[in-house]
Amino acid sequence: MTALAALEQLVVEFRGGGRVLRALDEVSLVIAPGESLGVVGESGSGKSTLARALLGLVAADRGRVLFGGADLATLGGAELRRLRRRMAIIFQNPAASFDPRQTIGDSVGEPLAVHEPALARAARRARVAALLERTGLDPALAARRPHELSGGPCQRAAIARAMIASPQLVVCDEAVSALDVSVQAQIVNLLLELRRENGVALLFISHNLAVVRRLASRVLVLYRGRVVEVAPREALYAAPRHPYTRLLLDSVPSLVPAASQAPRVPPETASPFARDRGCAFVARCPFAIRRCAEVAPPLETVAPGQAVACLRWREGVATRCA
C-alpha cells in the first residue's frame, strides 16, 4: 500500500503571550488512496489543526507532512499550489467558507480557474453546473450569493467546490456538525456516493461518533493533541481499548436511558498549555494508576491496524465495562 498522504511524528505549536500551546504532539497517520479515515476527539483535541497541517495551511514545528510522497515543507510556493489541486477541504460553517461578494458559481469554479486556466469560461460554467446538479442543487443557484442559501444547500455547494478539480483527498472538518440532523444524513450520503464514484480519499473530522461510524472505515482518536487510539471501525465501536474512546462512545446520547453504565468521568479542566509528563488523560481516567501520571504511554500496536496508547490496555479496562 502506497500512502496518499501521511503525517510523521508531527508537532504543531502555537505561540502567544510567551506561552506555547502544543496543538499536535507527535501525531503520525497514513491515508491510503481512496480510504476514508475518521478523526474524533473533543473540542481542543487538535482535530482542526490536524486538517490544516495535512493541507499545508499551518506549518509543522517538527515532523513531516507528506502528500503523494512529497514533503510539503520542502515545496516552493508554486509547487505547493500545484499539489493543492489534489486536495480539498470542506469547512464546518458552509456560509463562512464562501466569499460573500462572489456568486456560488464563481466560488465553486475557482479551483478550476486556478488549475485549468486554459479552460474557457463557458466550459468551466458547464462543469460547475454539472457538478452542482450532481450534488443535488439546481444549477441556477450558481448565480446566487452564499447568504441567499441555507445551510444544507450551501454545504452541497461546498462539496461541489471541493470535488470540482477531481482531488485525491478531501478533508471534511466538522463538515456536517452545523447542519440539521435530517440534512446531516443527506450530506453524509452524498459524500459516500461521491467517494464511491470518484475513489477520492476522505479524512472525516467530527466530534459526532455516529456520523464517523457511517463514513469512516478506520477511526483515529485524538486527545489533547495526541493519538490515543487508531482502529478499524468495527473494532473501535465494538471494543474500544482506550478509556478516552470508551468515554466518547458512552457520551453518545442514547434513547435507551439505562444503556450506558460507564463510570462517571470528570470534565476537562486542565489548561491546554500544561504539558503532562505522563498520560494526558490521567486526571480524567477512571482506571488511572500511579504509573499513568509518570510515564507517557507509547502508541502500541495491539492488533493488525489497531494501536492504542494506554499503559493498561492489556487488562482491557476500557473494553470490559462495555
Partner 1 sequence: MRLAWPARAALVVLGVVLALALLGPLASPWHAEQLDWQRMAVAPGLDGAHWLGTDRLGRDLFVRSLEGVRVSLAIAGLATLVSLVLGVGYGAIAGYAGGRVDALMMRAVDVFYSLPYVFFVILLTVVLERRPATVFLAIGAVGWLTMARVVRGETRRLREREFIEAAVAAGVPAPTILWRHVVPNLAGPVLVYATLTVPGLILLESFLSFLGLGVQEPAASLGNLLAQGAQEMEAAPWMLLVPCSFLIATVLALGFLGEGLRDALDPHEL
CA-wise closest residue to 233 among 205, 250, 212, 263: 212
Binding positions for partner 1, 1-60, rule CB under 8 A: 52, 55, 57
Binding positions for partner 1, 181-240, rule CB under 8 A: none
Residue 92's identity, in one-letter code, is Q
Q: Does 177 bind partner 1 (CB under 8 A)?
A: no
Question: Which position among 59, 70, 114, 238 is part of the footprint of partner 1 (CB under 8 A)?
Answer: 114
Which residues share a beta bridge with 57? none
Question: Which position among 101, 121, 277, 290 is part of the footprint of partner 1 (CB under 8 A)?
Answer: 101
Question: With respect to partner 1, which residue has the nearer C-beta, 17 or 253?
Answer: 17
Binding positions for partner 1, 60-89, rule CB under 8 A: 77, 80-85, 87-89
Q: How far is the CB of 226 from partner 1 (least distance, A)?
A: 25
Number of residues engaging partner 1 in binding (CB under 8 A): 29
Question: With respect to partner 1, which residue has the nearer C-beta, 81 or 275?
Answer: 81
Q: How far is the CB of 214 from partner 1 (least distance, A)?
A: 24
Q: Does 98 bind partner 1 (CB under 8 A)?
A: yes
Q: Does 165 bind partner 1 (CB under 8 A)?
A: yes
Question: With respect to partner 1, which residue has the nearer C-beta, 91 or 237?
Answer: 91
Q: How far is the CB of 53 from partner 1 (least distance, A)?
A: 12
Q: Does 91 bind partner 1 (CB under 8 A)?
A: yes
SS (H, E, C) the chain: CCCCEEEEEEEEEEEECCEEEEEEEEEEEEECCCCEEEEECCCCCCHHHHHHHHCCCCCCCEEEEEECCEEHHHCCHHHHHHHHHHEEEECCCCCCCCCCCCCHHHHHHHHHHHHCCCCCHHHHHHHHHHHHHHCCCCHHHHHCCHHHCCHHHHHHHHHHHHHCCCCCEEEEECCCCCCCHHHHHHHHHHHHHHHHHHCCEEEEEECCHHHHHHHCCEEEEEECCEEEEEEEHHHHHHCCCCHHHHHHHHCCCCCCHHHCCCCCCCCCCCCCCCCCCCCCCCCCCCCCCHHHHCCCCCCEEEECCEEECCCCHHHCHHHHCC
Question: Which position among 64, 115, 233, 284 is part of the footprint of partner 1 (CB under 8 A)?
Answer: 115
Q: How far is the CB of 294 from partner 1 (least distance, A)?
A: 39
Q: Does 166 bind partner 1 (CB under 8 A)?
A: no
Count the alpha carbons within 13 Å of 286 in the hemisphere toward its beta carbon: 16
Binding pattern to partner 1, positions 261-300, x when CB under 8 A?
Answer: ----------------------------------------
Question: Which position among 16, 17, 76, 100 is part of the footprint of partner 1 (CB under 8 A)?
Answer: 100
| Direct distance between the N- and C-terminal alpha carbons of the chain, in angstroms, rounded to an integer | 34
Q: How far is the CB of 233 from partner 1 (least distance, A)?
A: 27
Q: Which residues of the shown chain bind partner 1 in the complex (CB under 8 A)?
A: 52, 55, 57, 77, 80-85, 87-89, 91, 93, 96-102, 107, 110-111, 114-115, 161, 165
